[in-house]
Chain A
Amino acid sequence: TVGCVAVDSNGNLASATSTGGLVNKMAGRIGDTPVIGAGTYANEFCAVSATGIGEAIIRATVARDVAAIMEFKGLSLKEAADCVVHERTLKGAVGLVAVSASGEVAMSYNTTGMFRACATEDGYSEVAIWPN
Chain B
Amino acid sequence: MGWAIALHGGAGDIPYSLPPERRLPREETLRHCLQIGVKALKSNMTPLDVVELVVRELENIPHFNAGRGSVLTNKGTVEMEASIMDGNTMKCGAVSGLSTVVNAVSLARLVMDHTPHIYLAFDGAEEFARQQGVETLDSSHFITPENIERLNQAKDANRVQIDYTQPIQKDTIKNETETSLANGDSQIG
Which residue numbers of A lie inside 8 Å of B, CB to CB?
1-31, 33-36, 39-47, 49, 51-56, 92-99, 101-107, 109, 111-122, 125, 127, 129-130
Partner of B8, one of A24, A44, A115: A115
Q: By the criterion CB–CB under 8 Å, are A99 and B65 in contact? A: no
Task: Report how many A-B pairs have Cβ atoms within 8 Å.
Answer: 340
Can you list 7 residue pairs at the A/B interface with Cβ under 8 Å?
Answer: A6-B50, A23-B147, A25-B73, A26-B188, A28-B122, A33-B83, A42-B87
Q: By the criterion CB–CB under 8 Å, are A117 and B7 in contact? A: yes
Partner of B12, one of A3, A6, A113, A122: A113
Contact with A along B2-35 (1 / 0, CB 8 A): 1111111111111110100001001100110110
State how many residues of chain B have any CB contact under 8 Å with chain A. 89
User: A129–B13 Cα gap in the complex (Å)?
Assistant: 11
The reply to whether the CB of B48 lies closer than 8 angstroms to some CB of chain A is yes
Contact with A along B66-101 (1 / 0, CB 8 A): 110111111101111111111110101011110000
Q: Determine the chain A residues whose CB is within 8 A of the CB of B13 once the complex forms.
A: 92, 111-113
